[in-house]
Structure 1
């Protein structure tokens, strides 16, 4: 059916299906590595206690009980199915095989997100869920990708980019006067190895970057809907700007996933016009009737659900990273509506004698001023991100005090979340949390001291805590 099929977009489908599956693989692997220590039976915010207090919003397999073993089974199953999709094996079969595989990933990851509390309260969680749901209806290698589903992917990219652009223009004045990047690279949640160098670019170039960002997010998204080759050119602009963000910071899989989604507007012909590749469009079979009916029904549902995020785009009080239904479909997106001007970090220290204090090292967040920031994205270090919010004044006593208690116990699962334990697995006598002001060193300071950061103490966040005395 010519009106139903999008022949000439085979590369787009391959990138979408395999790329989204690869991000799911990272997300499930992250859950295996971090969820038990953060949210497990003995975690900082235990899911069993959450289930005792209230019923989680939306679907979750853990509604009927949580154990760390069940979490590992869910995440492990997600890793296996994701890996099969990355390899392209389910796509060799009829359309119902990859459809079922992606819907299982969607249900499994939604089960984790809906009990993840603040550690899973990030916009890219709902973005991955929405993208995974859409990927289920791209069909298999036997049939042409459905045009309606590709259009819904483009609509997702539009909401993601235009929503982010609008939240910036409505938010902080530094976006409107083009000075946002005077601060952003230094104060972003988790700088990467290049962030120091980006920060020290000339200020006029920073203004050009911000203007280019506004163009990419407020103008270019409209051209994604245009006929080829305009749609592919617009997608290339989105991809380039997202890769620029990948090069300058750690934002988990947000930028990587956006790059993948933008390929929904890239035609095979546009790629062939640039790269010396042959025709990679296979000979398709006719679409099964049930598949056509299902795609039409799902498309109608998502168009209906799109009323709320569309309304939000033009609302005076635009919501950022909001879900309007329990299934994490047709969401609102946005990022960095405000830019912090100063960077503060919470430094956690322990003492074995009450006199000498030694610092715990986190994997991603700044700590030791001489340690170059590392690259972790598209992997997501959830504890490190929450530490950034804590330093901004976000309420964190519900999980941060338990973190300090776990350090006093030298809890092995908790220590695995860190880069460095100064006590080599032995429990300290005391722990405390101190607030420091951080800024990037200048070129001269970097040459003289070898430090990437210059820091100064700003005050005590949590006074020294000791282990509870045991009854003799």
Structure 2
């Protein structure tokens, strides 16, 4: 089956399998740490209530037959163990069906989580991870050469991801067309990291060069992935480098890291060997089992058919961003920041132990989102702080966030430990506040001079009140 196996892409498979599994590992750790307070039986958006409301429309999930917080823990730990086994290379050392089953299990378990995750799992990189994990199931093991059709499907995934993101920018906001997007983006992105302040203060002409380079990378380079080597490898490396620049400048969960991993699908062993002597040596492969060829070709055919919808979406003037066209989250549409926020607003949540809401207010600090103006923005990616991202959307005025935010205030008034564990700390040391409130602040980065004089990363001022002081009795009444 020489036509079937891509002899010369062992490095690509090595990076794809271990890299995708590493991201699954991070994702399942987040499930263990965040799912129950956000979506559990006493979560902000309880899964049992969601399933009772939507029924089969939730999509495939093991939780449809029975939900419990204990089952979530089992799903999380099984996912962690399976992902870790691939990272160290255990399934890959066996026959092709072993990594296939492991990756399909990872895909199925995480699909179960995403399909009940509601707004807390409504991100494009959830579908991206699911699609990547499903494809990785058919890369085979070290015993056989990686199937060429699966590698092509990975190239097609990277193409949709990058080209779709480029089109949504050009179509979506004038600041991408006049190259001024980065005048705002580093300051208003969901969760800045320690370097974002410095990126924001780069000279404006350089910001325009960055945007132009982004357009070249996303609108032209993806086509080169399908050309002969070494052009395809160079295209993959360009994507890796530009995504690395985004890793340095912000916290976008695992979106950029996973894109870098996927772009390595284009790397040929001989190109890697020339760049890194001693690396990229081809492994000896045995014959590919007929059953494996049949399975891969059937899966390839199904994914080719499913690709009609994202291909049509790319050509549509009404392009959808981060859309799934089926309940299995396969062959989706991707993209990010089709529009750029010009001003940054933050919701500041406060509580007080005072019997009247007239004073003694203390601010709750979140793990990732801006709060105190002197606090250094943290580096959290590729980990995903789902509550913090929800707070960013809430500040944008997203009505989808209001239901869980009311539940969050109630949990804070209860002094709920699981909910407080999602925050940076409990300002009341286990005591219950009597009142909580939420105020809206405008944030901007400090200037070089302000940073030097005050040590502040941010300057902020109040612009209004989102929720007036409420007590537990008034919320429940």
Query: Under a length normalisation based on structure 1, what TM-score does the superposition of the two structures give?
Result: 0.99
- Which aligned pairs between 1:296-311 and structure 2 lie closer than 5 A? 296-311=297-312
- What is the aligned partner in structure 1 of residue 111 from structure 2? 110
Aligned equivalents of 2:125, 2:76: Cα separation in 1? 18
Give, in whole Å, the separation in 2 of the partners of 1:232 and 1:22. Answer: 23
Aligned to 1:25: 25
Deviation string 1:121-173 (CA, Å, 9 cap, x unpaired) is 00000000000000000000000000110000000000000000000000110
What is the correspondence of 1:24-173 to structure 2 with a 5 Å cutoff? Answer: 24-55=24-55, 56-173=57-174
Partner of 2:376: 372
Q: Deviations over 1:279-313 (max 9, x none)?
A: 52111000000000111111011011000000000
Q: Residue 420 of structure 1: SS of its match in structure 2? A: coil
- Residue 400 of structure 1 deviates from its aligned partner by 0.1
Corresponding residue for 1:413?
418
Give the Cα–Cα distance (whole angstroms) in 2 for the partners of residues 445 and 242 of structure 1. Answer: 31
Correspondent of 1:386 among 375, 381, 390:
390
Aligned to 2:429: 424
Output aligned runs, 1:220-369, within 5 Å.
220-278=221-279, 280-353=281-354, 354=357, 355-369=359-373
* d(CA) in 1 for partners of 2:474, 2:119: 31
Deviation at 1:258, TM superposition (A): 0.1
Give a deviation string over 1:92-119, Cα, whole Å, max 9, x none. 1000000000001010000000000000
**2:159 and 2:58 mapped to 1: Cα distance?**
27
Q: Deviations over 1:313-359 (max 9, x none)?
A: 01010000001111111000010000000000000000111311100
User: 1:420, CA displacement in angstroms?
Assistant: 2.2
How far apart are residue 86 of structure 1 and its match? 0.6
For structure 1, the residue ranges without an aligned partner over 5 or more in a row are: none
1:437 pairs, out of 439, 442, 445, with 442
Structure 2 Cα separation of the partners of residues 289 and 53 of structure 1: 45
1:210 partnered with 2:215: no
Cα distance, 1:52 vs structure 2:
1.6
- Residue 210 of structure 1 aligns to a residue whose secondary structure is helix
Change (3 A) 1:469 1:244: closer
Structure 1 position 278, deviation (Å): 4.8
Q: SS of 2:424's equivalent?
A: strand
Report the alpha carbon displacement of residue 58 of structure 1 after superposing the two structures with TM.
1.5
CA distance in 2, matches of 1:279, 1:15: 11
In the alignment, is the contact (CA less than 8 A) between 2:273 and 2:281 conserved in 1?
Answer: no
Partner of 1:15: 15
Separation in 2 of the partners of 1:342 and 1:279? 47
Kept in 1, the 8 Å contact 2:160–2:334? The answer is yes
Q: Which of 453, 457, 465 is residue 460 of structure 1 equivalent to? A: 465
Shift, 1:470, TM fit: 13
Provide the rounded CA distance (Å) in 1 between the counterparts of 2:142 and 2:119.
39
SS in 1 for 2:348: strand
Larger deviation: 278-287 or 461-470? 461-470
How far apart are 1:57 and its partner, in Å?
Answer: 2.6
Distance 1:368 1:278, change over 3 A: closer
**Which stretch shifts more, 370-379 or 279-288?**
279-288
Give the secondary structure class of the aligned counterpart of 1:362: coil
Secondary structure of 2:4's match?
coil
Q: Is the 8 A contact 2:10 2:280 kept in 1?
A: no
Query: CA offsets, 1:4-27, max 9 Å, x none?
Result: 111110000010001100100100
Question: CA RMSD, aligned part only?
Answer: 1.1
Could you give the per-residue CA deviations for residues 74-102 of structure 1, whole angstroms, max 9, x where no partner exists?
Answer: 11111110000111101110000000000
* Worse-superposed segment, 354-363 or 130-139: 354-363
Name the CA distance, whole Å, in 2 between partners of 1:420 and 1:92: 44
Q: Aligned in 2, Cα 1:10/1:404: closer, same or farther, shift over 3 Å?
A: same
Deviation at 1:467, TM superposition (A): 1.8
How far, CA to CA, are the matches of 2:408 and 2:153 in structure 1? 42
State the shift of 1:269 in Å: 0.9
Does the aligned pair in 1 maintain the 2:313–2:319 contact within 8 Å? yes
Q: Return the alpha-carbon distance in structure 2 between the equivalents of residues 469 and 333 of structure 1.
A: 42
CA gap of 1:140–1:449, structure 2 versus 1, over 3 A, is same
Query: Structure 2 CA distance, aligned partners of 1:209 and 1:267?
Result: 28
**Conserved? CA contact 2:350–2:361, under 8 Å:** yes
